[in-house]
């Protein structure tokens, strides 16, 4: 099978109408109109490539920022899990030291208040955005 028009580098999704392409193809390469057309096209290609490069750079920067944030949050999770484990052990040791008392009479709502206060922390909210 014969290759397609190599002027488009195999890209069948080029922009512009076919009548315009035929008109430009028949222009004398030394003509002013052809030179202006090529200059406009070159500028459009340059803008497109710059825009694409900028989007790629912005995406890479966002990925790096999110990875750093993720690492920070994972480190915070590890610290909080260690703290939670320590506090649970401390609580159980204290509860065990008081004998086999029934814990139903003890108000443990303060444990939930600390967790709730941390969720409402402005620092935590800012990191979630």
| Contact of 101 with 95, CB cutoff 8 Å | yes
Q: Provide the pLDDT for residue 24.
A: 57
Chain segment 69-96, per-residue pLDDT in tens: 999 999 999 999 999 989 988 888 887 7
What band does 56 get if pLDDT is binned at 50, 70 and 90?
A: very high
Does the residue 61 lie in any domain? yes
Cα angle value 29/27/40 (rounded, 5°): 75
Does the residue 129 lie in any domain? no
Number of domains forming the structure of the chain = 1
The pTM of the full predicted model, rounded to 2 decimals, is 0.50
Does the residue 104 lie in any domain? no
Instruction: Write out the residue range of the structural domain in which residue 89 sits.
Output: 21-97
Task: Report how far Cα 19 is from the mean position of its chain's Cα atoms.
Answer: 42
Q: Provide the pLDDT for residue 129.
A: 46
Cα angle value 118/125/60 (rounded, 5°): 135
Does the residue 10 lie in any domain? no
Q: Provide the pLDDT for residue 125.
A: 47
Does the residue 105 lie in any domain? no
Q: Provide the pLDDT for residue 115.
A: 52
Q: Provide the pLDDT for residue 29.
A: 81
């Amino acid at each position: 099978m014969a290759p397609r028009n190599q002027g488009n580098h195999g890209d069948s999704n080029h922009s512009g109408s076919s009548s315009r392409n035929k008109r430009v193809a028949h222009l004398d390469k030394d003509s002013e109109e052809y030179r202006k057309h090529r200059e406009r096209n070159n500028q459009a290609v340059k803008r497109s490539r710059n825009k694409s490069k900028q989007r790629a750079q912005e995406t890479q920067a966002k990925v790096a920022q999110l990875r750093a944030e993720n690492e920070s949050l994972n480190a915070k999770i590890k610290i909080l899990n260690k703290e939670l484990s320590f506090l649970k052990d401390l609580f159980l040791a204290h509860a065990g030291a008081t004998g086999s008392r029934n814990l139903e009479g003890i108000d443990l709502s303060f444990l939930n208040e600390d967790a709730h206060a941390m969720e409402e922390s402005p620092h935590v909210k800012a990191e979630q955005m």
